Amino acid sequence: MLHLIKSSHALEEALLLCTASDAIVLLEEAVYAATSVHPLQSLLPQQGVYVLHGDVLARGLESRLSTNVAIVDYHQLVDLTVEHSPSLTWS
């Protein structure tokens, strides 16, 4: 399953239901959780966590991302959607 997460609050809820085979994409405000200093960052799995490149750039977070997070563009997001179907959006 692919979890598309748009806020830190939604991330907390989604992490309760995620399994090891799931992928997580942090979007919009949720990209802050991918920074190495964010309190929720330590709860993220060590693999299968992605952030949308445009959202990271818009917030100036390129140099602050944790090393266990992969940056994806829209084409890669489509690939993740196909690979991890079904998907669930958390707002």
Asked if 32 and 8 count as a contact pair (C-beta separation under 8 A), the reply is yes
Q: What is the pLDDT of residues 6-21, one digit of tens each?
A: 999 999 999 999 999 9
**Domain residue ranges in the chain:** 2-90
pLDDT at 7: 97
Q: What is the mean pLDDT of the chain?
A: 96
Asked if 5 and 30 count as a contact pair (C-beta separation under 8 A), the reply is yes
Beta bridge partners of 26: 5, 51
pLDDT at 14: 96
3-state secondary structure (DSSP) of residue 91: coil
Closest CA to 8 of 47, 59, 83: 59
| CATH code for the domain defined by 2-90 | 3.40.1260.10
The pTM of this model reads 0.94
